[in-house]
Amino acid sequence: MSRKPLPARAGERSRVEVLFDRPQALAQLFGQYDQNLVALENRLGVYITARGNKVGLEGTAEQVALARDVLHDLYHRIQRGEQVDTGLVDASIAMASEPTLDGIVSAERGQGPGIMIRTRKKTIVPRTPAQAHYMRELVSHDMIFALGPAGTGKTYIAVAQAVAQLITGSVQRLILSRPAVEAGEKLGFLPGDMKEKVDPYLRPLYDALYDCLPAEQVERRIASGEIEIAPIAFMRGRTLADAFVILDEAQNTTPAQMKMFLTRFGQNSRMVVCGDPNQVDLPGGVAASGLADAVRRLEGVEGISMSRFTAADVVRHPIVGRIVEAYEGAG
């Protein structure tokens, strides 16, 4: 792929023509009914024309340069076998707008992405600068707090990293936990055995696992004990060595539960605590959130990382990010 600049218009307007050497990749690059190009136009304020294997970009010099970099990134993602959609267009724009990150690198240098997690079923790459920072912290720190609203990938990325380390043998077990706060951890009135009682609260963790591993492997590893999914109450009295341990919905723990969980940390282990400090569902009269208490006590402690996400990092439908912003703004 190469590019050839066109004569610039008067003022600050700039025009650039981008040439692609694999026309067969352009259908996916452009998207159905050119939806990816339309998304790029709307997000960056550029005007795009496409003829054959040539794409013309027109706008301010800054807009055109950013659009060109995003097109290069998306094109090379397609060459690596990734599926491009409007969500990935947004992610690529966010990454390209952050020059200090190497999640997107210069296509001219022929490099791949600087950060990725490989699992049996897919390769996960960061879709926002905050996700890129988080993925780095998952590699470099033994204990990570991931703080932010739903839909930012906190738990999903942690599960993917845990699966990757389980596959490579870096850890021997994967332990996933959540507080079953809706039933106050008193689950006796629910029908079924203990597994049937708690599974509804743990379903998001199962969903992330099945997205990273074939179903038969998930079931086999659960049966063998390599993967354990349990409410936080089941962690008491244990030392979790040689394990990747994830606590989800941590804002719904009490300070006592959080202290109990964090002190389960064992040799050759990694622990990730995920939660949204603004979405506490503890029943009335219960002590303050264990997540907020832990962040206050442990901020700045050596070996512990705090990764923070905002509504701008929501990678679900764009309207979810706007909903989060509306609720946070309402106080």
Sequence spans of domains, the chain: 2-114, 118-330
pLDDT of residue 318: 65
* pLDDT tens figures, 116-171: 787 877 778 787 888 889 999 998 899 999 999 988 999 999 999 999 999 888 89
In a 10 Å sphere around its CB, with 0-12 CB exposed, 13-18 middle and 19+ buried, how is residue 109 labelled? exposed
Same fold, 2-114 and 118-330: no
Alpha-carbon span 268 to 82, nearest angstrom? 33
Whether 89 contacts 77, CB under 8 Å: no
Whether 246 contacts 155, CB under 8 Å: yes
Whether 102 contacts 115, CB under 8 Å: yes
Whether 229 contacts 194, CB under 8 Å: no
Superfamily classification of domain 2-114: K Homology domain, type 1 (3.30.1370.10)
DSSP label at residue 281: -
* pLDDT, averaged across the chain: 81
Whether 232 contacts 247, CB under 8 Å: yes
Number of C-beta neighbours around residue 288 at 10 A? 12
Alpha-carbon span 11 to 199, nearest angstrom? 62
Instruction: List the CATH code of the domain at 118-330.
Output: 3.40.50.300
pLDDT of residue 171: 92
What tens-digit pLDDT sequence spans the chain (331 residues)? 444 444 444 446 888 888 888 888 888 888 888 888 988 888 888 999 988 888 999 998 888 888 888 888 888 888 877 778 777 787 777 767 654 444 433 333 344 445 778 787 777 878 788 888 999 999 889 999 999 998 899 999 999 999 999 988 889 999 999 887 554 445 455 555 555 655 666 788 888 899 889 999 999 999 999 999 888 888 888 888 999 999 999 999 999 999 999 999 999 999 999 999 988 888 776 668 999 999 999 999 999 999 999 888 887 666 766 777 787 766 5
Query: What pTM was estimated for this model as a whole?
Result: 0.69
